[in-house]
Structure 1
């Protein structure tokens, strides 16, 4: 599997369904979406774009530090049916749905209303004809259509800037089975699906297209697109949604380049996702949460590099992964190489603890080793103006103390846990072990997941009371391990559960976790469910 592989375009539903897993009735959902689209728009869809949510088994908040992670696509997904809309040759130009590239977007969920919007062409002041670019207003608000707009903006920017051609007007209908704000990456799935829909409708995925869109290109485009709604994503969510394959967890690396390789889980266990019912929206809480952690991690990397004598450019935003590489004179990274091998990286990470201690501010009285803005600027070795330009000019954060030490401690320890988790999975698969041996391996994997949860709660401080309670209940109900998944501050947990005990496990958790009491049937299955790794994003093209 490679980031250079093309995005799959199916023309046979049997081939498509075979890749999606079995826990959801995919045939019924796809047929219902198609029929509803025809009812609402008077024509059949031309395409359906699909992007799955993802669950991260281990490796939280380390992707934007460029360390590898271990997520998997889940069977729950976002589907967008779409078709080009005919605009009469003579039509009122002041009506938005008649404008070039206009979009009529509807959602199957009744709480979401129809949205009509259109990009505005920006022209060169010296030439009233030549289109220089497109403008599309995207408020940084928790609204479903803003994620659709974000995907559209990327396509406009990538394929219609500097061109006299116009994007095609489109009708679209959206549906999804990924719980919003759950930590299962519904936002990334929405952005990936909308990006794919606009690429498909504008002929950018056809065999006749001059430039084929690869999975790697779709990941990078979707990462940039999601930033339009105020989230500085590290790429794990998009990579998992796009590059996953059935029945495998992915080891995704970001340094020195984006790669993904399947990692088999030992047999005998499944994943159970459980929503804490505390909604976590990265876009709304970014200033005190996600974006703040990105800044703390980046500044921590510069300070650590400086204390270790590692060279850093004055305008460079070095990452914690790059610090490790430069500290060890890592080679083979500038010409498409893979850098140091996994075993060497594991050895370096085992020795990094002493270096991280240097991130504690000297003489600080803050109980959690937090540095004030003034202390942080001094530790960076930059002037106040340089520091603001490099670390604060592109993102909004809200904090009085910045916990560089704790964030780096989590990142390095979590990166090592990911490599241990992966090695144990690969070693178990290679040894063709017995079921008893698999159980022993699963228990070790569970221990690593539990350690990750502790680090997320104590050092990265991205857990919450509900997630702490839910993971504890899960372990007591028989899970090998349980941890938050996704950005945290609410959302979902993921538990590694013996396959034979899934039904009993879900029953016990539902009885003991207070927010689940009174939920039954479909309502309960929406908040706690078993899943197997699914396939990544794709497009179905109707005949």
Structure 2
């Protein structure tokens, strides 16, 4: 890794990588013990690392153009919190974490809802586990990376992002039960079906994402309390309809219907009916817009333009309040869809969007 050598004057002991992700369907269901269906992106965060014989960590980030150092006596903020959080979470779990020097590069877009933070955590975690020879099975790693983000970095995300970044397989979507943490790798070879998933980075700035995300999670927890159930995973459409608070009812209705849309999407993919998942994607977006209220004008415009241009379905992906839209379209129609979205944005005075075709990739790995 040339960046590591440039910063530290020597080659790293190893190089590790973990991908960003898009969520095909299943938004804000993970922290409600529900179901999600993400897949890993080709874009990834790469970490070159070497061990130190002291309990200190030096980390250089190409994107931040910054080098930081920390030990166990301090709390790190900013982008470094996602690195220090992994060290902290490993130690909290009882592991003897090796000190290390690291250099980090990434082509996962920041602030686009593609889980750049989970990619960073997962790459650093994989590197430290391998460097230290730590006995941490792959299926237990997402929960530890999630704890780093929740309890150290302070973002109350569910476990989907870290699970996708660590456990995905190329050519598959990851059907994850967020209660049992059981996974099933669902074949998702869209190209073989003559289709493509077009990711449209709307470039919409995330608006109040941390506070609004926390507010949505709190509303879901309150709705579950009102219903007397452990989580909204256990709610039914009839029980949700009985909630008297209109806001809590809408929030809960999104989660219950979204869980069902994930299950229905998986059933269609198992039958090889890839094209037929389009309406479920669009219904998911409508629910996020109307019931969960997490979309913004840019993503709504992108979905509308994509469908008008012939996409079989489209939806926002990620936590909301900005970020990316997914559109399922014929392979030879992606340029048409992308052009329609760009024209719609220009008409509305939005910043130009940035489209790319997403090919399901693999999870964290040593290169």
Are 1:35 and 2:2 matched, yes or no?
yes
The answer as to whether partners of 2:209 and 2:320 remain within 8 angstroms in 1 is no
Question: Residues 315-464 of structure 1 correspond to what in structure 2 (within 5 A)?
Answer: 318-321=230-233, 323-324=234-235, 352-361=236-245, 369=246, 403-427=247-271, 429=272, 442=275, 444-464=276-296
Runs of 4+ in 1 over 6 A off after TM superposition: 515-519
The answer for the alignment partner of 1:241 in structure 2 is 165
Are 1:84 and 2:51 matched, yes or no?
yes
The answer as to whether partners of 1:115 and 1:145 remain within 8 angstroms in 2 is yes
The answer for the alignment partner of 1:105 in structure 2 is 59
The answer for the alignment partner of 1:485 in structure 2 is 317
Q: In terms of Rg, which structure is larger?
A: 1
The Cα of 1:236 is off from its aligned counterpart by: 0.8
The Cα of 1:200 is off from its aligned counterpart by: 2.4
Structure 1 window deviating more from structure 2 (244-253 vs 502-511): it is 502-511
Deviations 1:29-65 (A, max 9, x none): xxxxx12211221111112121111101111101111
The Cα of 1:250 is off from its aligned counterpart by: 1.5
Q: SS where residue 48 of structure 2 aligns?
A: strand
Q: SS where residue 262 of structure 1 aligns?
A: strand
Cα pair distance change 1:419/1:187, threshold 3 Å: same
The answer for the alignment partner of 2:226 in structure 1 is 303
The answer for the alignment partner of 1:530 in structure 2 is 357
Gapped regions of structure 2 (runs ≥ 5):
none
Q: TM-score under structure 2 normalisation?
A: 0.92
The answer as to whether partners of 1:58 and 1:71 remain within 8 angstroms in 2 is yes
* Distance (whole Å) between structure 1 residues aligned to residue 65 and residue 8 of structure 2: 17
The answer as to whether partners of 2:305 and 2:337 remain within 8 angstroms in 1 is no
1:63 to 15, 20, 30: 30
The answer as to whether partners of 2:298 and 2:350 remain within 8 angstroms in 1 is no
The Cα of 1:528 is off from its aligned counterpart by: 1.5
The answer as to whether partners of 1:510 and 1:517 remain within 8 angstroms in 2 is no
Q: SS where residue 251 of structure 1 aligns?
A: strand
Cα pair distance change 1:244/1:490, threshold 3 Å: same
The answer as to whether partners of 1:300 and 1:404 remain within 8 angstroms in 2 is yes
Cα pair distance change 1:506/1:170, threshold 3 Å: same
2:81 to 122, 125, 146: 146
The answer for the alignment partner of 1:137 in structure 2 is 75
The Cα of 1:516 is off from its aligned counterpart by: 9.5
Aligned length: 362
Gapped regions of structure 1 (runs ≥ 5):
1-33, 87-99, 121-135, 205-210, 306-311, 313-317, 325-351, 362-368, 370-402, 430-437
The Cα of 1:103 is off from its aligned counterpart by: 1.6
Q: TM-score under structure 1 normalisation?
A: 0.63
RMSD of aligned alpha carbons: 2.1
* Distance (whole Å) between structure 2 residues aligned to residue 534 and residue 461 of structure 1: 30
The answer as to whether partners of 2:301 and 2:341 remain within 8 angstroms in 1 is no
Q: SS where residue 360 of structure 1 aligns?
A: coil
Q: SS where residue 456 of structure 1 aligns?
A: helix
The answer for the alignment partner of 1:376 in structure 2 is none
Q: SS where residue 417 of structure 1 aligns?
A: helix
* Distance (whole Å) between structure 2 residues aligned to residue 42 and residue 459 of structure 1: 54
Cα pair distance change 1:405/1:517, threshold 3 Å: closer
The answer for the alignment partner of 1:285 in structure 2 is 209
* Distance (whole Å) between structure 2 residues aligned to residue 358 and residue 155 of structure 1: 43
Are 1:231 and 2:155 matched, yes or no?
yes
* Distance (whole Å) between structure 2 residues aligned to residue 263 and residue 191 of structure 1: 25
Deviations 1:395-415 (A, max 9, x none): xxxxxxxx2111111111111
Q: SS where residue 180 of structure 1 aligns?
A: coil
* Distance (whole Å) between structure 1 residues aligned to residue 355 and residue 113 of structure 2: 13
1:494 to 318, 321, 326: 326
The answer for the alignment partner of 2:126 in structure 1 is 196
* Distance (whole Å) between structure 1 residues aligned to residue 249 and residue 76 of structure 2: 35
The answer for the alignment partner of 1:274 in structure 2 is 200
